[in-house]
Chains A and B, each alone.
Chain A
């Protein structure tokens, strides 16, 4: 019998993988992919709670808002990455130290 805890553990695994990518990749586009994994794991949690523990649809509505914010975030972040690439000719985040004094 599949219950709430199966989904919670699955989304914990997805979150941990996203965090691993966020911490270890140097390519900016790859870091963005990891952030998408983390947002997806949060969404799985919200929908699972909506199905098993709340009795109403609020969790699914929150998940829709998360998807909207993720779309906005990716658009802006990719714009920044492209501008950085134009400026520095590299997608590596370690080289983006222009603001450092």
Chain B
């Protein structure tokens, strides 16, 4: 087994194992911390795929931003003295059938299709991504920044306590 394969299997096991915990754990805070491991595993896979900029972004935005936000969500929507932070599960049987069917179909498509083999050699990507953002993809880039601004302002407006009008 080559070194690349070994690293791939380690990160794949880390990602999928912690994703299992996220989905099936009965304690909400365990799910949140397992999600941390999942994000780290995906960042490792990005490094393995030669996407260095994306791996750093994954760590900064997901682990540093989204996960902290989710932890705030966990803590603010449960009374803290209520230590029993359970998350109930419904319709486990039908949900399992749908998810397993989806997995089988996606795997069959991935394995049966002839993919074009245009491999790109791993190289530093940050400068190239920056150039693409400011030339070919300038309009989507600006649209994304406006979207982010509007969404954050909207979020602040929604949670604001309204005066009784």
Contact = CB atoms under 8 A, between A and B. Distances in A.
Contacts of B66: 36, 70-71, 74
A50 B31 CA distance: 30
B51 A47 contact: yes
B42 A64 contact: no
Nearest to A17: B19
Contacts of B152: 72, 75
B115 interface: yes
Given A36-B35, A44-B42, A14 B88 contact: no
Nearest to B35: A33
A78 to B, nearest CB: 5
Interface residues of A: mostly helix, strand, loop or mixed?
helix
Interface residues of B, number: 82
Interface residues of B: mostly helix, strand, loop or mixed?
helix
A1 interface: yes
B5 A2 contact: yes
Contacts of A26: 87-90
B118 interface: yes
B116 A53 contact: yes
Interface string B44-76: 011011110110011001100110011011101
Given A57-B132, A80-B158, A29 B144 contact: no
A37 B73 contact: no
Contacts, number: 231
B38 A37 contact: yes
Interface residues of A, number: 71
Interface string A54-72: 1111101101110111111
28 contacts: A2-B48, A4-B115, A8-B106, A15-B102, A17-B16, A17-B19, A18-B23, A19-B102, A23-B91, A29-B74, A30-B87, A33-B31, A37-B35, A43-B54, A51-B119, A52-B115, A52-B119, A67-B62, A70-B62, A74-B70, A75-B152, A75-B155, A78-B69, A81-B77, A82-B73, A82-B76, A83-B159, A91-B78
Given A10-B16, A82-B73, 20 more contacts: A5-B115, A12-B103, A15-B103, A16-B103, A17-B16, A19-B98, A19-B102, A23-B99, A27-B87, A37-B22, A40-B38, A43-B58, A53-B115, A60-B54, A60-B129, A63-B54, A65-B140, A69-B144, A74-B69, A78-B70
